[in-house]
């Protein structure tokens, strides 16, 4: 039976069609959207999507890991956690000049935004000093900047903003009720505090979650409710499909039905009409048909390239071929990399410069 809205609540279809941005969606209203007939849900999501975006434009980004592995967090999905033996080696923080070289090469190849990620619970002062200079130097090239560094307090967020950081990524991962089943080393309130600090500092927010970690349907609705409550909504909302990495506690969790995943994309689009909904981790395991349906449901952002931090991502040529089949094109307004040349240049530089002299150890106390 479809979920029922409260007697005094407007019909879910009416709510979905309203142009106003809402932050007060109830859990019952969101569950009612999830329960709509599939065709009705995608139709409504398409209406909302077309009211705010070019339906055939996709934001394309690249992401460089500037420090990998040895993270003290115990996130059960993550191969970078120091708590699990996943075969992922500990890497050091890339030195500033090498990051700038790679950013410059990316820009010359057509990139307009450069994204950097580090496996930390929170950046330490000496590491933050390096990161701040990275941001400033990359920003000086005329590139848009984005980072994910773990938790940041008000002072760290302010300093990152002053250095020129445009976007900060910090996912909520799952619902408040299920969160303790996935992570114990950082609270849900910690994550919300970081997002508040980022917003207060004037940066744009990238925040979403991971589906397929054994959560209940209500947890997926509750995750989206938490994102909707953020004012303003996150500019970017990555919806990740769990990548089951051997050695992590979730390596044997039951697969999520692809149609359930598509429903979440569609509901996210309806709830956050002006946000970019990013089809993020897990794309390599998705068929072309599933990805096409995700775009139809309102996804309009992807990470482009061979790797996504440490997990696989569809190769550039496969993405370009899929775009051609679907008649999609990169969105120029806020793209990190508009074509395969930028990703290829960046990947080549990483492989060429990964010698030990190019790094310093950011994983040691």
- Rounded Cα–Cα distance for residues 136 and 126 (Å): 16
Angle between helices 96-108 and 340-352 (to 10 degrees): 150
User: Which position among 44, 104, 115, 137 bears the catalytic label?
Assistant: 115
336 is catalytic: no
Say whether 71 is catalytic: yes
Q: Is 206 a catalytic residue?
A: yes
Catalytic residue chosen out of the listed positions 220, 278, 283, 336 = 278
Task: Name the catalytic one among 44, 78, 186, 269.
Answer: 78
Residue 292 host element (H or E)? helix 288-296
Beta carbons of 173 and 148 less than 8 angstroms apart: no
Q: If you write DSSP's letter for every residue of 186-205 in order, what string do you get?
A: S-HHHHHHHHHHHHHTT-EE
- In this structure, are residues 299 and 56 in contact, taking their beta carbons and an 8 Å threshold? no
* Tokens read off for 100: 């700038």
C-alpha 250/C-alpha 215 separation (Å) is 12
Sign of CA dihedral 25, 29, 35, 41: negative
DSSP 225: H
The Cα 342–Cα 326 span in angstroms is 22
* Bond before 279 cis per omega within 30 degrees: no
**d(Cα 154, Cα 199) in Å, to the nearest integer?**
10
Residue 232: asked if its preceding bond is cis (omega within 30°), the reply is yes
Q: How many residues are present in the chain?
A: 365
Spot the catalytic one: 44, 137, 206, 263. 206
Question: Which of these is catalytic: 104, 113, 137, 146?
Answer: 146
Residue keyed to tokens 């938790």: 151
Q: Which residue in the list 71, 159, 263, 269 is annotated as catalytic?
A: 71
Phi/psi of residue 59, nearest 5 degrees: -70, 130
The Cα 130–Cα 53 span in angstroms is 37
Q: What is the CA radius of gyration of the chain?
A: 20
Active-site residues, by number, are: 71, 75, 78, 115, 146, 206, 278
């Amino acid at each position: 039976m479809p979920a029922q809205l409260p007697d005094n609540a407007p019909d879910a279809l009416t709510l979905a069609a309203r142009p106003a941005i809402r932050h007060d969606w109830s859990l019952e209203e969101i569950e009612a959207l999830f329960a709509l007939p599939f065709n009705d849900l995608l139709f409504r999501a398409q209406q909302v999507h077309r009211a705010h975006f070019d339906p055939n434009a996709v934001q394309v980004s690249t992401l460089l890991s500037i420090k990998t592995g040895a993270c003290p967090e115990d996130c059960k999905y993550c191969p970078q956690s120091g708590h699990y033996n996943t075969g992922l080696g500990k890497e050091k923080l890339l030195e500033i000049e090498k990051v700038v070289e790679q950013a410059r090469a990316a820009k010359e190849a057509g990139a307009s935004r450069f994204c950097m990620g580090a496996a930390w619970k929170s950046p330490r002062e000496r590491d933050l000093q390096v990161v701040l200079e990275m941001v400033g130097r990359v920003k000086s090239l005329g590139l848009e900047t984005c980072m994910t560094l773990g938790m940041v307090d008000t002072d760290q967020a302010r300093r990152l903003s002053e250095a020129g950081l445009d976007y900060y990524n910090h996912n909520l991962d799952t619902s408040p009720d299920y969160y303790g089943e996935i992570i114990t080393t950082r609270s849900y309130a910690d994550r919300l505090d970081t997002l508040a600090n980022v917003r207060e500092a004037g940066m744009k927010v990238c925040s979403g979650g991971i589906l397929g970690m054994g959560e209940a349907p209500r947890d997926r609705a509750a995750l989206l409710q938490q994102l909707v409550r953020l004012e303003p909504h996150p500019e970017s909302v990555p919806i990740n499909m769990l990548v089951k990495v051997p050695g992590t506690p979730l390596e044997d969790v039951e697969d999520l039905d692809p149609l359930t995943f598509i429903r979440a994309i569609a509901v996210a689009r309806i709830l956050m009409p002006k946000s970019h909904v990013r089809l993020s981790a897990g794309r390599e395991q998705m068929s072309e048909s599933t990805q096409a349906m995700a775009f139809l449901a309102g996804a309009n952002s992807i990470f482009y390239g061979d790797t996504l931090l440490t997990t696989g991502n569809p190769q550039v040529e496969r993405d370009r071929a899929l775009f051609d089949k679907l008649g999609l094109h990169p969105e120029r307004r806020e793209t990190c990399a508009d074509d395969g040349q930028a990703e290829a240049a960046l990947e080549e530089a990483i492989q060429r410069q990964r010698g030990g002299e190019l790094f310093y150890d950011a994983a040691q106390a």
